Amino acid sequence: MLAVPPLPEPDLLAAIPRLRRYARVLTGDPTRADDLVQETLARAWEKRRLWAVGSDLRAWMFTIMHNVFVNQLGLAARDARNVSIDGDGDGARAWQLPVRATQQIRVELLEVLRELERLPAEQREVLVLAAVEEMRYEEIATVLDIPVGTVMSRLSRAREKLRRAMSEGRDAAQAPLKVVR
C-alpha cells in the first residue's frame, strides 16, 4: 500500500494569510475567520490524497474553505448573517487600515469596506477573489462551484453597486470641499 504523501508545509503556511483574509470576508469576524481557517487546514490534511501534487495548492485550499463554510452555515444561516451585518452597518470593523494611509484616505477606505460588507455575500465573494486575490475567473468558478458566466454576472453587479455607492458618497463629500478653492 502506498503511503499518502504529506502536503508541502511551507506552501500551506504561505497560504494562511490569504486564507485568513478571505475567511474574514466570509464571516465578517476575525475570531470566527480563524476558526474557519483552522478547520480548513485540518480538512486539507484529511483529504490530502485528493490534492494533485504540483497543482495549485492555494486554489485547492480556497475550494476546501468555501465548502467548509457553506456546509457549516447552510444557505439559510448565511443569508441571516448578511442581514445582521447589514443591520449594524459597520462590517468594516474586522479590518485594520494601512499605517501609511493618511486620515483622509482612512475615511475613504472605511467607506469602501463598509460598502463591500453591504454587498450580498455571493457578490462579495466573487469580487474579493477577482479584485483582491487576483484569481482567474475560471479558478473562481472552481472554488465557488458555479459556472464562469455566473462569476461574471456577479462580478459585474458587485462592481456596479460599489461604483454607485462610492460615487454618491464622493459627490456628497465633494460638495463642501469646493469652498477650499
**CB contact at 8 A, 65 and 19:** yes
According to the binding rule CB under 8 A, does residue 93 interact with another protein? yes
Give the C-alpha separation, 20 to 17, whole Å.
5
> 5: which DSSP letter?
P
Per CB under 8 A, which of residues 97..116 are in contact with another protein? Answer: 97-105, 108-109, 112-113, 116
Q: Which residue has the cell 487600515?
A: 97
Select from 45, 79, 145, 168 the one that contacts another protein (CB under 8 A): 45
Q: Who's near 101: CB < 8 A, 6+ residues apart?
A: 109
Q: CA angle at residue 123 from 57 to 143, to 5 degrees?
A: 20
Per CB under 8 A, which of residues 137..166 are in contact with another protein? Answer: 137, 152, 155-156, 159, 162-163, 166
Site residues for another protein per CB under 8 A = 6-7, 9, 12-13, 16-18, 20-21, 24-25, 29-32, 34-39, 41-42, 45, 72, 93, 95-105, 108-109, 112-113, 116, 127-128, 130-132, 134, 136-137, 152, 155-156, 159, 162-163, 166-167, 170, 174, 177, 180-181
